[in-house]
Amino acid sequence: MKLFATTSLATALLFAAPAFAQDATTAPTDTTAPTAPTDTPTPTAAPTEGAAAQTADGMEPVTVEMQHADGSSAGTVTITPTPHGLLLAADLSGLGDGERSFHLHETGVCEGDFTSAGGHYNPTDKDHGYMAENGPHAGDMPNFTATDGTAQFQTFNPMVAMSGGDAPLNDSDGTAIVVHDGADDYESQPSGDAGDRIACGVVFAAE
Ligand SMILES: [Cu+2]
Ligand SMILES: [Zn+2]
């Protein structure tokens, strides 16, 4: 790290780079400092894909790779832990057009038609859906809309945590994110009549 400590520019880059490093290469150069060395080291060692390597117990974002049933990529979901739950940022593809449902499922296995992921994550023994009197499951989350196959959105789930609490995602059988090809009606048992499972991603693999 001493390499980066020699100029204020490098120091600024060092502070700016870790969270979302792709912006580092487009950081404006300071034209008021003509004597700045031109060989300022670029922070190529910044963790552009480090999110997936972060330990689950920390507060660092974790990127979940989503896949279709044929194994092709369905994009990513980046999960950012907060003191109050998990913020999920989805960047998905290959999902057709229309309303889709989005859940945390109880088993961290994405195989075949993704029934391997089990039911909705429900460690607190609730009923399914926001409209259910004894709902919702900890893994229930709002629907989203895919357009031309893609969807980018954020959602927040205050009922779960990466570890600890009533609904930790890192329990022994892990956790998966599942997208269904229909809308969750937020009340049908046990899973909102949401349709086929069209994308899946392992948050924590089953032990
Ligand atoms: Cu589901
Ligand atoms: Zn549910």
197 belongs to the catalytic site: yes
68 belongs to the catalytic site: no
122 Cα–ligand 2 center, Å: 7
> Counting ligands in written order, which one lies closest to the CA of residue 131?
2
Q: Hey, which bits of 25-131 come out as E strands?
A: 62-67, 73-82, 85-92, 98-105
Please pick, among 120, 125, 166, 173, the residue that the annotation labels catalytic.
120
Q: What is the mean predicted confidence (pLDDT) over 130-136?
A: 98
- Give the range of the structural domain holding residue 91, as residue numbers without chain letter: 50-204
Alpha-carbon distance of 151 to 99, in angstroms, equals: 10
80 and 41 within one domain = no
Q: Hey, which bits of 93-205 come out as E strands?
A: 98-105, 144-146, 151-157, 175-180, 197-204
Alpha-carbon distance of 148 to 15, in angstroms, equals: 37
19 Cα–ligand 1 center, Å: 30
Alpha-carbon distance of 175 to 203, in angstroms, equals: 5
178 and 116 within one domain = yes
The rounded mean pLDDT for the chain is 81
**Single-letter code of the amino acid located at 152:** Q
Query: What are the pLDDT digits (tens) for 181-200?
Result: 999 999 999 999 999 999 99
Calculated CA dihedral for residues 166, 172, 173, 176, nearest 10 degrees = 60
Q: 69: pLDDT confidence band, cut at 50, 70 and 90? A: very high
Q: 21: pLDDT confidence band, cut at 50, 70 and 90? A: very low
How many domains does the structure of the chain reveal?
Answer: 2
88 and 185 within one domain = yes
Specify the CATH number for the domain of residue 85.
Answer: 2.60.40.200
174 and 85 within one domain = yes
The percent of residues in the chain predicted with pLDDT above 70, rounded, is: 72
In this structure, how many other beta carbons lie within 10 angstroms of the beta carbon of residue 118? 19
Alpha-carbon distance of 24 to 157, in angstroms, equals: 30
101 Cα–ligand 2 center, Å: 10
Identify how many contiguous H helices and E strands the chain contains and give both numbers: 1, 8
177 and 88 within one domain = yes
> Counting ligands in written order, which one lies closest to the CA of residue 198?
1
> Counting ligands in written order, which one lies closest to the CA of residue 100?
1
197 and 99 within one domain = yes
Q: Residue 128's pLDDT is what?
A: 98
190 and 89 within one domain = yes
Selection from 101, 97, 95 nearest residue 120 by Cα: 101
102 Cα–ligand 1 center, Å: 6
**Single-letter code of the amino acid located at 175:** T
56 and 119 within one domain = yes
Query: What are the pLDDT digits (tens) for 160-172?
Result: 999 999 999 999 9
29 and 61 within one domain = no
Q: What is the mean predicted confidence (pLDDT) over 23-40?
A: 42
| Cβ-Cβ contacts under 8 Å for 55 (sequence gap 6 or more) | none
Q: Specify the DSSP class assigned to residue 150.
A: B
Q: Specify the DSSP class assigned to residue 43.
A: -
Among the candidates 28, 48, 68, a domain finishes at 48
Please pick, among 68, 100, 184, 197, the residue that the annotation labels catalytic.
197
Alpha-carbon distance of 83 to 163, in angstroms, equals: 12
Q: Residue 59's pLDDT is what?
A: 80
128 belongs to the catalytic site: yes
140 belongs to the catalytic site: yes
75 and 42 within one domain = no
79 and 13 within one domain = no
Alpha helix segments (H runs only) across 17-89: none
pLDDT over 50 (residue 78): yes
Alpha-carbon distance of 199 to 143, in angstroms, equals: 14
57 and 86 within one domain = yes
